[in-house]
Structure 1
Amino acid sequence: MAASHTNICIGNYLLERLKQLGVTKMFGVPGDFTLGFLDLVEDCQGIDWVGNCNELNASYAADGYARVKETSIGVVSTTFGVGELSAMNGIAGAFSEHVPVLHLVGVPSTVQWKAKPMLHHTLGDGRFDAYTKASSHVTISQAAITNTESAASEIDRVLTACITAARPVYLTLPTDMVYLKISAEPLKTPIKPIWPQNNVETEKFVLDDIMKLIAGAGDQVVILADACAIRHHVRMELGELIQKTGFPVYAAPMGKSVVGEDYERYGGIYVGSISHPDVKEKVESAKVVISVGAIKSDFNTANFTYNIPEMKYIELHSQYAKVQYAHFEGIGMKDLLPKLTASIVALNSPSKNAPVPKLEAVIPQDASQEVTQEYLWPRVSKFFQSKDVILTETGTSSFGMLDVPLPSGAVYLTQILYGSIGWAGGSTLGAAFAAKECGLGRTLLFIGDGSLQLTGQELSSMIRHGLTPTIFVLNNDGYVIERFLHGPTRKYNDIQPWRWTSLLNVFGGEEGKTCKSYTVRTRTELSTLLDDPAFAKSDKIQLVEIIMPRLDAPRSLKATADLSSKSNKYAPT
């Protein structure tokens, strides 16, 4: 039923709200408590059902979709109990990394919910709310549709929380509520994020404090960009700050690609003690560091080794600001950044002329034909194009990508904070859908052989929907990041080898027609493939197995693993 009618069923009300938010794909696995609603989804003009191989992959896909389609949200639909618990790990990762996802759960009817019979998918003890309580720890807001009077307001409430906080929300829809009618009148008013307005006097005080520090810093002011600049929608405001001030800018690992890495004032990735020496020196010697959207987790800071004294540190966040030791709650960066930019432009700070190290990818010129980590990342960086969507898995690929530049307009996704192995495989499905919708380019996944074994089933969903990502499988025979953390020769870090080049055919592709697979063992073979225009076109799904040394890792991974293993104290001293 169209949204303009006086009344609309609850299920369609929800779908209309999702369409208003720009959602065109819904991920998930059908279950008996969702089937009535899924009839509405399948008949809905504007939202496509994407069936996944399992609920965990579906939640990863919703996460990837939301990361690429920054103006929308991801949606995953699961059934009560067994389905929602399978998805919860992916929802937790989205919560951890500030990604807006709706977890929609089909639950038993309101009659059954009250009577609490020993239904399938329950724990058998009458605790029908057990899963809701569990989800409350990994979602920012929860709602249960239990009557027609509050259905619309509850849907609107959780969706507003989702887009405001940039975090997942949880909504249960009983089987007998899907088709009940409610007023469509609220749909005439689109929902929007509710960001609190900065207090004028406090904001002016904060701005004055920041400007005093900048004025006294001479040409020693730098900007440090991080992930929440993307998640909390200040990419444009940050871009204006960077362009109009000309200040040197660096990024944390989770903030990679928030700044165009071919910009002449961009210097590279700052990651504490394991940063490139030139980057480390420039950031840590600065008199003022303006941090925008920081997430100071262990892997994002090289095990908390930021060497930036608080006296020099300004932090801007979505809900608060910190200037040296002072914390200003309720002063958000969305409103503050434009005013800060205008003030700095008026100051005409000499930091706009401070030298910035040039980020370059240098390909080793030794005679070896072995595809090492040191060789791979600079070489594949030459393959990247503007508007590519590039995903890396926690491990060798996410660390390997740190020191190579991406072209302007490229979108980079990785999961550094939550670090759920296999995330990138499932997330690629959602990212590839979103890339098409946003007019972006190729979708490129770099993932280890161990990681892809967790979520490789979703390659079949990519084939089913005609998506054409290119998957680079780093075949180094096991869990390499774990080997460097501890137990390099232990059997628990080993995996069963797969026949990778047969996988796309097994999942329904036709070699040479709808898919293409390759194995490269040497640098010459890799370069030849990357230089092939037909391969670079990415007009079909492709899988490239890259044979790599078993005990080889990027420089930054080795350093981080060493710091982490010392902190974890795996063995007695």
Structure 2
Amino acid sequence: MQATLTDLQSEVARLRHELQSLALEHKGDEQITVADYLLTRLEQLGVSSIFGVPGDFNMRMSIFKDYVEDHPTIKWIGNCNELNAAYAADGYARVKPHSIGVVVTTFGVGELSAINGIAGAFSEMVPVLHIAGVPSTTQLKTRPLLHHTLGDARFDVFTKAAEQVTISQAMLANKVQATADIDRILIDCVSRARPVYLSLPTDMVSEKVSTKRLKIPLSRILPPNNPDVEEFVLDEIIKVVREAESNVVVLVDACVSRHDVQDEVKDLLAATHFPVYSTPMGKTTIDEDYDRYGGIYIGSISEPVIKERVESAKLILSIGALKSDFNTGMFTYRIPTTHTIELHSDCVLVRHAHFPNIGMKQLLPKLTSRLKDFRCQASELVVSKFKLEVPVEETSDITQSYFWPRVGTFFRKKDVIVTETGTSNFGILDVPLPEQTIFVSQILYGSIGWAVGSTLGAALAARDRGLGRVILFIGDGSMQLTVQELSTMTRHGLTPIIFLINNSGYNIERNLHGMNRKWTSLLTTLGDLNGTLSRSYTVRNKPELEKLLDDPQFANAGKIQLVEVVMDKYDTPRALKMAAELSTKYAEQSAKQF
């Protein structure tokens, strides 16, 4: 039912856009190619980089890739493979709000290679456009035995696969409908924060279409909340807050940033002074040096002071929750439904009551206006400072317990910090990050190797926005899956700092790179042949790491840098160790119930 209502709302938005377009005068109508129309729309959305891999269905002179390369403001970022390109589009969209990531692949082999990256963006609600260059419209109808097919005339099988991991799809079958289809899926992409799929036949790329629709901006406006239901919901929330005697804790999660309500949430917090905590997926949604911010809540994995404060509150105002296993400490939240209000992009839950089609984007400003009267009482609630001291340890070895708080002192305002699935994701959770830092991780989908491609996209977006350094933390095992993309970073003059945690991960590392080969030779192997564009280091103990982190030249990130951090292979961050134990218990309990 909910999916049907969402689809209807999307259709209403599309029809409204169509009416605006039809109302334009035809007089003086200009003609441009379908490719240029699409690129203009992407330019309007703030896209300045398109990722992908050339293929014979998108590479010829009349085909889309050439139009990208000729565009004055959008750059073609050629990737080493389609999976990395999809990861890069994901990272780009996460760091560049109000824009989208774009990946271009060829038919069949290319789009299937990218589909895992698109699935991750779908899972974590990241707006990405996947453009697949496909055979001509005639070939799609006659279905000859073409290369890149399954050899059984099922040319639609790849589109059907894309339907499983995208929110909206379009096949540009004729120029009459082409511009409307492009607008439709792009509106879905930006308004519903999910990937979309565009199938672009070779003979459609240079077809001429009208420019008139380009005068109407793509709509980001969400369907309005029903005013009567919204007013009732507001009354119910105020009543519950009053019953809780203002002992309210705000818990922010991933959908705060995914659905563009960060400003509304900040206004709410400033007006009310309610204490605020974050989930792992919501990390840096709120500046972590904000004086009413208490840290990361992960159920039973939380630091004891955080766990006690959140779970003892009389009411939790949860905003944009995504209650996955890792995000909730393996489902160990100890918060009764009777003590919970949840705000989502498409519904509100007040205790056991569910109010569909009441979106938080429009609700939050009205709620803030009515909750500001509780500020005085809320200000009396104590919030422990979120901090993590660097421990004093007898050993000179670099331990997980030492490494994460120490690199925490290295971070700066506006840094973009990317962490890989596993050790890095969990190690950094307890580390307070400076204001305006952007934390990028893939905790829900957890595709190993995602972080390298994502760092490429994040670095390009950070450069566009004038942000600070881009810093990647990744394990030696994960790095092997997507390591080729370091060459792309070097080629485009990007300068991320890469901390590679070498804890003797996969044995394949020694076999692939040579039994005595070092990670520090990697950047010269992958593009920096004369060693002038990059710098590599190995740190094996605390003094070596301290010296490096205190080096101003290293900290300024003037070139791409890789730091091999040697650790014991059995050493594990606190949060990961607890998550593993809870995961085992949860699996055992589930097996018994089954």
Distance across 2 between alignment mates of 1:352 and 1:199: 33
Tell me if the contact between 1:219 and 1:349 (Cα under 8 Å) persists in the aligned partners.
no
1:222 aligns with 2:249: yes
Instruction: Return the offset for 1:512.
Output: 5.4
Number of the residue aligned with 1:409: 436
Instruction: For 1:528, give the aligned amino acid.
Output: K
Instruction: For 2:572, give the aligned amino acid.
Output: A
Number of the residue aligned with 1:547: 566
Number of the residue aligned with 2:31: 7
| Aligned ranges 1:323-362 → 2 under 5 Å | 323-348=350-375, 350-362=377-389
Number of the residue aligned with 2:169: 142
Number of the residue aligned with 2:528: 509
Q: Which runs of 5+ in 2 are unaligned?
A: 1-27
| Aligned ranges 1:393-542 → 2 under 5 Å | 393-478=420-505, 499-510=518-529, 513-542=532-561
Tell me if the contact between 2:273 and 2:375 (Cα under 8 Å) persists in the aligned partners.
no
Instruction: Return the offset for 1:367.
Output: 1.8
Distance across 1 between alignment mates of 2:468 and 2:220: 29
Is the partner of 1:150 in helix, strand or coil? helix
Is the partner of 1:300 in helix, strand or coil? helix
Distance across 2 between alignment mates of 1:379 and 1:89: 34
Is the partner of 2:131 in helix, strand or coil? strand
| Aligned mate of 1:66, from 93, 100, 121 | 93
Distance across 2 between alignment mates of 1:186 and 1:504: 46
Instruction: For 1:521, give the aligned amino acid.
Output: R
Tell me if the contact between 2:272 and 2:373 (Cα under 8 Å) persists in the aligned partners.
no
Tell me if the contact between 1:113 and 1:128 (Cα under 8 Å) persists in the aligned partners.
yes
Tell me if the contact between 1:360 and 1:405 (Cα under 8 Å) persists in the aligned partners.
yes
Is the partner of 1:417 in helix, strand or coil? coil
Distance across 2 between alignment mates of 1:219 and 1:571: 38
Distance across 1 between alignment mates of 2:204 and 2:150: 23
Instruction: For 1:149, give the aligned amino acid.
Output: V
Distance across 2 between alignment mates of 1:494 and 1:307: 45
Number of the residue aligned with 1:38: 65
- 4-13 or 132-141, larger mean C-alpha shift: 4-13
Tell me if the contact between 1:319 and 1:329 (Cα under 8 Å) persists in the aligned partners.
yes
Q: Deviations over 1:16-63 (max 9, x none)?
A: 000000000000000011111111111111110000000000000000
| Aligned ranges 1:89-488 → 2 under 5 Å | 89-348=116-375, 350-478=377-505
Change (3 A) 1:51 1:283: same
Instruction: For 1:30, give the aligned amino acid.
Output: P
Instruction: For 1:552, give the aligned amino acid.
Output: D
Instruction: Return the offset for 1:517.
Output: 0.1
Distance across 2 between alignment mates of 1:565 and 1:510: 46
**Aligned Cα root-mean-square deviation (Å):** 1.7
Is the partner of 2:426 in helix, strand or coil? helix
Instruction: Return the offset for 1:359.
Output: 1.1
Tell me if the contact between 1:215 and 1:349 (Cα under 8 Å) persists in the aligned partners.
no
Q: Deviations over 1:223-279 (max 9, x none)?
A: 000110001000100111111211100000000000100111000000011100011
Q: Deviations over 1:110-129 (max 9, x none)?
A: 01000001100000001100
Distance across 1 between alignment mates of 2:466 and 2:153: 49
TM-score, reference length from structure 2 = 0.92
Is the partner of 1:257 in helix, strand or coil? coil
Count how many residue pairs are aligned between Structure 1 and Structure 2.
559
Distance across 2 between alignment mates of 1:283 and 1:311: 14
Distance across 2 between alignment mates of 1:494 and 1:554: 25
TM-score, reference length from structure 1 = 0.95
Is the partner of 1:327 in helix, strand or coil? strand
Instruction: Return the offset for 1:566.
Output: 3.0
Distance across 1 between alignment mates of 2:397 and 2:334: 36
Change (3 A) 1:348 1:266: closer
| Aligned mate of 2:582, from 559, 563, 569 | 563
| Aligned mate of 1:25, from 26, 30, 49 | 49
Distance across 2 between alignment mates of 1:349 and 1:402: 31
Q: Deviations over 1:339-367 (max 9, x none)?
A: 11111113445122200111111111122
Instruction: For 2:534, give the aligned amino acid.
Output: C
Distance across 2 between alignment mates of 1:379 and 1:460: 29
Tell me if the contact between 2:524 and 2:531 (Cα under 8 Å) persists in the aligned partners.
no
Instruction: For 1:207, give the aligned amino acid.
Output: L
Instruction: For 1:561, give the aligned amino acid.
Output: A
Distance across 1 between alignment mates of 2:530 and 2:473: 21
Q: Deviations over 1:124-169 (max 9, x none)?
A: 0011000100110100000000001100000000000000110000
Instruction: Return the offset for 1:494.
Output: 9.6
Tell me if the contact between 1:477 and 1:494 (Cα under 8 Å) persists in the aligned partners.
no
Number of the residue aligned with 1:488: none
Number of the residue aligned with 1:85: 112
Instruction: For 1:167, give the aligned amino acid.
Output: R
Q: Deviations over 1:324-345 (max 9, x none)?
A: 0111111000011111111111
Tell me if the contact between 2:272 and 2:374 (Cα under 8 Å) persists in the aligned partners.
no
Q: Deviations over 1:522-554 (max 9, x none)?
A: 011101100100000001000000000100111
Distance across 1 between alignment mates of 2:235 and 2:379: 20
Tell me if the contact between 1:511 and 1:517 (Cα under 8 Å) persists in the aligned partners.
no
Instruction: For 1:46, give the aligned amino acid.
Output: T
Is the partner of 1:430 in helix, strand or coil? helix
